[in-house]
Structure 1
Amino acid sequence: MQSNALVLTVAERLDDRGDIMQLTLRGAGDLPAFTAGAHIDLLVETAEGPVWRQYSLAGDPSDRSAYRLGILRDPASRGGSVALHDTLKTGASVHVEGPRNHFPLAEASFSVLFGGGIGITPMLAMAWELSAKGADFILHYATRSQDRTAFLDQIKSFPFAEKIVLHHDDGAGAGPVDLARDLPEAAVGTHIYVCGPQGFMEWVIKGAEAAGYAPANIHREYFSADVDVTGDSFEVECAASGITVTVGPEDTIVKALARGGIKIEVKCEEGICGTCVTDVIAGEIDHRDQFLTEEEREEGDQICACCSRACGKRIVLDI
């Protein structure tokens, strides 16, 4: 799906449970179509300047009248969510690019969706799309407690409400997610989708792998990632431009190239959005991202330049 630059209006803001702000964004007419799992890039004005942040679309993909988002106020983040919570009001204009989809639904006989906290947002769009197709699925929504469960009021009225299982750490609902109970037996046509806090995601993914699920049947999307971008120095040769730069121990490829006059577009800076993916001609890659699949990593011809590094002393990029 090609990127689109849009200026949209905040038609509605709802401060929901769990420090999650629901936004409804509208334009002058129908918005670009999207499929479940897609996100938009939203330009956020922070004290340090404008930054791009990615937010999953939570609404019904068949409804092109609006984009619906859920944004967690996270004081531990790099400031984007806090700035939005503090400054964004109904009627405000926002700059948006997208939608783009790196987390699409696969053809499956049964889809099992796990949404932890704010990770519920792409799962809701998936539930809408699966329901419209008459597909077989279940959605497990995990939160700390009912009073921290965003979208709860809407969920009760969704046409697929009976397919949503609420899990609360305090024992309410179905209680905490229990993979021995909630993860179906591995089957060729069963696909697992997970989004939420990194620890929750890794727990579900490891549980699915241990249960015998093939890597191709386990789908994930990270909202943020703890990534270590440091390491030994190495050189980056740009084959097309003829420029070679050195990436220092505390440096990144993107920053080193920028000093050399070559700009690679970045947005998340955590290796989760794929904006900075660059073709690699030669050199072994030390992948630090959460974006590329294992198959793509094994091919060794792409790198997330915002965080990944070279394993050796030199890497050659096709730029």
Structure 2
Amino acid sequence: MKVTLLRKLPVATDICMFELGPADGAALPPFAAGAHIDVHLGGLVRQYSLCNSPSEAGVYRLGVQRERESRGGSVAMHACEPGTTLEIGEPRNHFPLDPHAAHSVLLAGGIGITPLLSMALHLAETGRSFELHYCAREPARAAFVDRLDTPPLNARTRLWFDDAPAGQRIDFAQVLGKPDAHTHLYVCGPAGFIAAVLGAAAQAGWDPANVHREYFGAARVGAARVGAARVGAAGVGAAGVGATGVGAAGAGAAGAGAAGESETSAAATADGPFQVSLAQSGRVVDVPAGTTIVEALRGCGIEVPVSCEQGVCGTCLTRVLSGTPDHRDVYLTDDERAANDQMLPCCSRALTPMLVLDL
């Protein structure tokens, strides 16, 4: 659907708020807190979380961080000015609030504040119990602080900064030290931030069913796999929040899982070459070392729908008919990885000499 950029407002260093309205006067589809939309930007498709309250009918608000190492999405978005017409998809939500939680703990790292801001607004408006902890490298990099500093959010929000004196930085063990069967944890940010939070939650004894996360950028370190995740809103990419124990983006995520005990051939080492057979055409494509499946297929004129190309968004999710994939994404859950019947070919590889894909 087409929307018009109504407002563009700087809200932190390298971060702008974009307010979108319908281009044709028709009502925008409703959304739930935690949802994201696809934004089409000159051949690119990027996912951005909606950061306004679901009760605000008629507008979608996004927070987009301009990435120094952007693959084009954030740069193209920041080049847009009010009046620009954009093509977007309808809201989707892989990161919903649990409707039965008696209390919600929201932990945001960097630009990961965007879906959690929407959650906080919704929880406040509906009279539900919550607390919001927002971590950033320094005050200038904290987005939407004016909104967080005003009622009804200010009484339930705590800001944490890397440049604060020792002893005034966030202590995840303290924040998460008292898990409760009716309390749910929501964490969003870069992989290193999430790894630190999940580690603290596990040590504190949180029920994994009560822990929800959304990655804004994947750690791409060898064949490492980040722990169980169902994610959306990829492509925004958050800067790591530094040395508070939170970790830089991607740090601490490596080594979270080892290769499974499936039958693995020496011919398919972690980063070595392998082949992909396309079931729908019978064609076999070589995937060299250092090349992703998507890149190899693209080189043969075969296009697979992609967006983030980091294993975050799930756009390229593909059925595996034979062979064992080497999962390197942060989209699939542990159970989905163990089943080995689907994979994200934008980043994952093979543990067997050949994969047969439903392509």
2:185 aligned partner, one-letter code? I
- For residues 1-319 of structure 1, the aligned pairs below 5 Å read 6-27=1-22, 28-45=25-42, 50-85=43-78, 87-106=79-98, 107-171=100-164, 175-227=168-220, 231-260=271-300, 262-319=302-359
1:20 aligned partner, one-letter code? I
> Alignment RMSD, CA only?
2.1
Contact persistence 2:134–2:158 (CA under 8 A): yes
**Cα displacement (A) at 1:69:** 0.6
Contact persistence 1:228–1:288 (CA under 8 A): no
CA distance in 2, matches of 1:281, 1:268: 24
CA distance in 2, matches of 1:231, 1:298: 20
1:16 aligned partner, one-letter code? V
CA distance in 2, matches of 1:184, 1:110: 14
Contact persistence 1:143–1:168 (CA under 8 A): yes
Q: Unaligned regions of 5+ residues in structure 1, if any?
A: 1-5
Mark the CA change 1:316 to 1:228 in structure 2 (over 3 Å): closer, same or farther: farther
2:11 aligned partner, one-letter code? D
1:26 aligned partner, one-letter code? G
Normalized against structure 1, the TM-score is what?
0.89
Mark the CA change 1:262 to 1:19 in structure 2 (over 3 Å): closer, same or farther: closer
CA distance in 2, matches of 1:309, 1:104: 30
CA distance in 2, matches of 1:255, 1:188: 45
**Cα displacement (A) at 1:254:** 1.8
Q: Which digits, 9 at most, give the CA deviation of each residue in 1:77-107, with x for residues without a partner? A: 323223322x211111112123222222224
Normalized against structure 2, the TM-score is what?
0.80
Contact persistence 2:2–2:87 (CA under 8 A): yes
Give the match's secondary structure for 1:100. Answer: coil
**What is the identity percentage for the equivalent residue pairs of Structure 1 and Structure 2?**
45
**Cα displacement (A) at 1:52:** 1.6
**Cα displacement (A) at 1:260:** 4.6
Aligned equivalent of 2:252:
none
Q: Unaligned regions of 5+ residues in structure 2, if any?
A: 223-269
Contact persistence 1:115–1:195 (CA under 8 A): yes
1:271 aligned partner, one-letter code? G
- When you count strand as a share of all residues, which structure comes out higher? 1
Using the TM superposition, name which of 299-308 and 268-277 deviates more: 299-308
Q: Which digits, 9 at most, give the CA deviation of each residue in 1:251-292, with x for residues without a partner? A: 222233334554321011111000000111222121111111
Q: Which digits, 9 at most, give the CA deviation of each residue in 1:224-263, with x for residues without a partner? A: 1232588111122222332222211122222333345543
After TM superposition, the runs of 4+ consecutive aligned structure 1 residues lying more than 6 A away are none
**Cα displacement (A) at 1:24:** 0.4
Using the TM superposition, name which of 233-242 and 61-70 deviates more: 233-242
Contact persistence 1:228–1:307 (CA under 8 A): no
Mark the CA change 1:206 to 1:258 in structure 2 (over 3 Å): closer, same or farther: same
CA distance in 1, matches of 2:16, 2:293: 34
Contact persistence 1:111–1:193 (CA under 8 A): yes
Give the match's secondary structure for 2:217. Answer: coil
**Cα displacement (A) at 1:163:** 1.5
CA distance in 2, matches of 1:212, 1:317: 39
Mark the CA change 1:146 to 1:262 in structure 2 (over 3 Å): closer, same or farther: closer
Give the match's secondary structure for 2:295. Answer: helix
Aligned equivalent of 2:226:
none
Give the match's secondary structure for 2:91. Answer: strand
CA distance in 2, matches of 1:232, 1:132: 53
Counting matched residue pairs gives 308
Give the match's secondary structure for 1:255. Answer: helix
**Cα displacement (A) at 1:64:** 2.5
**Cα displacement (A) at 1:147:** 3.1
